Amino acid sequence: MRDRHPDTPIKGRVTERRVKLTASGRMINPRSLFHRYPGNPILSPSDWSYPANAVFNPGATEIKGETLLLVRVEDMRGFSHLTVARSSDGRGDWRVAPQPTLLPDEKIQEEPYGLEDPRIVYLSEEGRYAITYVSFSKGGPLISLAMTEEFQTFHRMGALLPPEDKDACLFPRRFGGRYALIHRPIIRGEAHIWMCFSPDLKHWGDHRVVIPRRPRWWDCHKVGLGTQPIETKDGWLIIYHGIRVAASGSLYRVGFALLDLDEPWKLMYRSEEWVLSPSAPYEQVGDVPGVVFPTGALVDKNSNELRIYYGAADTVVALATANLTDVLTLCKACPV
Ligand code: BMA
């Protein structure tokens, strides 16, 4: 991709891209693209029937006509596990499982410090859901894979790549016979979004950077996958978080990109501005103030609504919605 030289003035382009016209002539403003659900936060520790310090960063999918969130639950020791919550409309009346759904297994060497930040895709070829999550090993965080049909029993497939690695998800289908994994290793202290490929979900290769951090931009220090990749007519929509380290700490914001449908290692478009940043009280107050961290998304095919589920301040789960066509229109205004 073409990286803008850090000293190139960007003022003119930013102004030009502040609003976009849809086919009908309507304006799209990146600042008001996503709407926070008025009932936010949708899940809080008090919704759990057992002690929980924080509930956040959920994977999201649909099962039996319902929305299922696999929520990261941090216990009072500071270790995380995953618990299912279900809702018929994906907004309210959540039913939280009374017991943890997936606990770290002491006998598994990569799991001693807990399971975090799951992403879910349905592999139609296998007829199973694939969950990629961060296992916290003695050597640091890494990506593990588990398969399930009904979110009650899980088949662990083990660690995919060595630490330090986070923010990973499989694509729901193969490309040229190979599975594709998007993930965020930290290499030489640099945090870019990478992709790699495997014939069997065990041996991974053909590693490449697909979405690099952008020097000096809002996503200059780290980028990482947010929700699972979303297949659209214009390409794979990748919602990601970007971090800029400021005097006050790390600023977590959200942007998006479009990857080629058939060759997803090709980055075609990338939003210039962020589209979600911490501002609501539940995003500003919590264990880690000032964090919005999307990890799950669903598209309502009837209404064309994109719903993103995100951890807010590393303490609660929140929901934001957008019109998918507007998201794609805005993204396509920003070729790389
Ligand atoms: C990242 C991950 C997330 C967390 C975020 C903000 O590195 O560990 O689980 O939500 O930091 O603290």
What confidence tens digit (pLDDT) does each residue in 189-245 have? Answer: 999 999 999 999 999 999 999 999 999 999 999 999 999 999 999 999 999 999 999
d(CA 8, ligand 1 centre) in Å: 31
**Measured between alpha carbons, how far is residue 312 from residues 64, 275, 281, 299 in Å?**
27, 15, 9, 21
Give the integer Cα–Cα distance in Å for 287 and 303: 35
293 Cα nearest atom in ligand 1: 10
Neighbours of 94 (CB within 10 A): 17
Give the integer Cα–Cα distance in Å for 288 and 283: 9
Ramachandran angles phi, psi of 218, nearest 5°: -65, -20
The response to whether residue 219 sits with its C-beta less than 6 Å from ligand 1 reads no
For residue 142, pLDDT over 60 is answered with yes
Nearest CA to ligand 1 atom 4: 314
The response to whether residue 328 sits with its C-beta less than 6 Å from ligand 1 reads no
222 Cα nearest atom in ligand 1: 7
pLDDT value at residue 106:
86
Handedness of CA 195, 253, 31, 286 (dihedral sign): positive
* Segment (H or E) for 122: strand 115-123
Q: What is the mean pLDDT of the chain?
A: 94
Nearest to 170 by CA among 141, 212, 128: 128
pTM above 0.85, yes or no: yes
Q: Are 269 and 331 in contact (CB under 8 A)?
A: yes
Residues found in the chain: 336
The response to whether residue 293 sits with its C-beta less than 6 Å from ligand 1 reads yes
For residue 12, pLDDT over 50 is answered with no
Neighbours of 240 (CB within 10 A): 23
pLDDT (tens digit, 9 = 90+) per residue, 27-71? 888 989 999 999 999 999 999 999 999 999 999 999 999 999 999
pLDDT value at residue 6:
42
Domain 14-331 maps to which CATH number in 3.40.50.800, 2.115.10.20, 1.25.40.80, 1.10.10.60? 2.115.10.20
pLDDT value at residue 20:
63
Q: Where are the domains of the chain?
A: 14-331
DSSP 126-171: TTEEEEEEEEEETTEEEEEEEEESSSSS-EEEEE-SPSSEEEEEE-
Q: Are 194 and 166 in contact (CB under 8 A)?
A: no
The response to whether residue 314 sits with its C-beta less than 6 Å from ligand 1 reads yes
252 Cα nearest atom in ligand 1: 6
pLDDT (tens digit, 9 = 90+) per residue, 239-264? 999 999 999 899 999 999 999 999 99
* Segment (H or E) for 332: helix 324-332
Q: Are 248 and 288 in contact (CB under 8 A)?
A: no
The response to whether residue 28 sits with its C-beta less than 6 Å from ligand 1 reads no
The response to whether residue 167 sits with its C-beta less than 6 Å from ligand 1 reads no
pLDDT value at residue 25:
76
The response to whether residue 57 sits with its C-beta less than 6 Å from ligand 1 reads yes
For residue 3, pLDDT over 80 is answered with no
pLDDT (tens digit, 9 = 90+) per residue, 264-297? 999 999 999 999 999 999 999 999 999 999 999 9
* β-bridge partners, 93: none
The response to whether residue 116 sits with its C-beta less than 6 Å from ligand 1 reads yes
167 Cα nearest atom in ligand 1: 2
Nearest CA to ligand 1 atom 7: 166
pLDDT value at residue 312:
98
d(CA 68, ligand 1 centre) in Å: 21
314 Cα nearest atom in ligand 1: 10
Confidence of residue 26 (pLDDT cuts 50, 70, 90): confident
116 Cα nearest atom in ligand 1: 9
pLDDT value at residue 19:
58
